[in-house]
Amino acid sequence: MKVCVLTSTHKWNDNRVFYKETLSLADLGHEVVYIAQEATNAIEIDKRIKCIDLPPKNKLGATSLKGMLNIYKVAKREKCDVYHLQDPDLIYVGLLLKMTTRAKVVYDVHEDYPNDMLTKYYLKPYKRHILKYCMAFSECLADVFFDAIVTADNFVLKQFSSKKAVVLYNYPDTNLIDEALRRGECDYEKKWDVIFPGTTTEYIINTILGVAKCMHDKGREIKVAIISPFVVNGGMEWVRTRVKELGLDENNVHLQKRVPTYEVPRLIRASKVGIIPWENVLKLHKNIPTKLFEYWYCGIPVVVADLPPSAQFVNKANGAFLIKPDSIEDYAEKIIYLLDNPDAANRMAEIGRELVVKECNWEAEKIKLKELYERLSM
């Protein structure tokens, strides 16, 4: 089949969108068209895929009528058998494609988008609730009219029709991690005590820096690495200011802008403990953190907020400490224990890695992706 993978908001090299699903569809023998911002960068990675650039976000206006129609025209021109949509912004593009073509449409739900609207704290509460119900309505339309729904975890799955919805867990592609770890020179000396690679919020930054401050006050020298695009208000400069306000410095906290995907596993391997300080908000009760499995596969133990999505795996593998959200002291104590007891830390990491190797990896999800597209071809 000819399949179009379409995203208007994700970066072209997004792990799930490109490296997992798009490349997997090409591996499964489909003719793949990839439409994204700066998508033509992907040609160097896989020449089997036809790549089409969308305009930058600030020029696209994907949520506007004009922007939606522009994306629809670009997608329809490809005359695909299946359109695999990766963003809620594209639901109405998908509805147009359903009305004007014979193609099938798949909506890929990465997280609990309706409840995500409630975390837009820069908006007044009533506006956040209006957005929540608008998003829920849009996803209801997708559930009714689209041919398949893909969710990234079992919690969001419950919001959709069980007959057409399938879970493709966002487990790590261990082959890509292995390749990344082999790439370039790295002796994996443990440079940092704690690492967090990923998108940050003010809550995440304040929690990580609070943990560093707590350990510093206990007389423990700590080196924390935060690898992030720093999309918080004020960016990296705001984070540097917070570091100074807490009496810390660059010897305690290493800040680095987003790095190429292949460098992340090497940075994790060069750390002693991975941290996932999720906030106790409703949307994160329905999101499994991919970092949990990436940390484990790269061989380090984890301290993670005790929320249902993480707890189900930690209780199975015992490869991490579950921390009460907002408990800076608990995070600090568990990290100190892991740093002081490397044998115990290594055992926890090994248990977690074993779970990833046996169950929680993308190869298992790729089989489900194949089965989904076999059904769509009928």
Contact in structure between 296 and 356 (CB atoms under 8 Å): yes
Task: Give the sheet arrangement for strand 104-109, strand by strand.
Answer: 50-54, 31-37, 2-11, 82-85, 104-109, 148-151, 165-167
Token pair recorded at residue 43: 């040609």
Name beta bridge partners: 151: 109, 167
Q: What pLDDT, on the 0 to 100 scale, is given for residue 184?
A: 57
- Give me the CATH code for the 174-358 domain, please: 3.40.50.2000
For 333, residues 6+ apart whose C-beta sits below 8 A from its C-beta are none
Output helix, strand, coil percentages for the chain, rounded to the nearest 5. 50, 20, 30
Task: Give the sheet arrangement for strand 320-323, strand by strand.
Answer: 253-256, 224-227, 192-197, 271-276, 302-305, 320-323
Strands 192-197 and 271-276: parallel
The candidate with the shortest Cα–Cα distance to 365, out of 89, 170, 79, is 170
Residue count of the chain, please give it.
378
Would you give per-residue pLDDT tens digits along the chain (378 residues)? Answer: 999 999 999 999 999 999 999 999 999 999 999 999 999 999 988 999 999 999 876 555 555 788 889 999 999 999 999 999 999 999 999 999 999 999 999 999 999 999 889 888 888 999 999 999 999 999 999 999 999 999 999 889 988 987 899 999 999 999 989 988 887 555 567 889 999 999 999 999 999 999 999 999 999 989 999 999 998 889 999 999 999 999 999 899 999 987 887 889 999 999 999 999 999 988 888 889 999 999 999 999 999 999 999 999 999 888 899 999 999 999 999 999 999 999 999 999 999 999 999 999 999 999 999 999 999 998
The candidate with the shortest Cα–Cα distance to 260, out of 207, 212, 320, 197, is 197
**Coil, helix or strand at residue 287:** coil
Residue type, position 207, single letter: T
Contact in structure between 244 and 275 (CB atoms under 8 Å): no
**Coil, helix or strand at residue 274:** strand
CA distances from 137 to 88, 96, 111, 183, 260 (A): 11, 16, 16, 45, 36
Name beta bridge partners: 226: 196, 255
Strands 302-305 and 224-227: unpaired
Cα–Cα distance between 154 and 286 in angstroms, integer? 8
At residue 84's C-alpha, the angle toward residues 79 and 86, to 5°, is 135
Q: What pLDDT, on the 0 to 100 scale, is given for residue 181?
A: 86
Judge if pTM exceeds 0.85. yes
Q: Is 185 left (phi over 0), alpha (psi -120 to 50) or beta?
A: beta
Q: What homologous superfamily does CATH list for 2-170+362-376? A: Glycogen Phosphorylase B; (3.40.50.2000)
The reply to whether domains 2-170+362-376 and 174-358 share a CATH topology is yes
Cα–Cα distance between 331 and 305 in angstroms, integer? 9
Domain boundaries, the chain: 2-170+362-376, 174-358
Contact in structure between 225 and 267 (CB atoms under 8 Å): yes
Contact in structure between 199 and 14 (CB atoms under 8 Å): no
For 375, residues 6+ apart whose C-beta sits below 8 A from its C-beta are 148
The candidate with the shortest Cα–Cα distance to 52, out of 75, 29, 68, 69, is 75
For 139, residues 6+ apart whose C-beta sits below 8 A from its C-beta are 88, 91, 107, 109, 113, 114, 159, 160
CA distances from 59 to 56, 63, 67, 132 (A): 5, 11, 8, 25
For 184, residues 6+ apart whose C-beta sits below 8 A from its C-beta are 266
Transcribe 54-65 into DSSP letters: EPPHHHH-TTSH
Q: What pLDDT, on the 0 to 100 scale, is given for residue 171?
A: 96
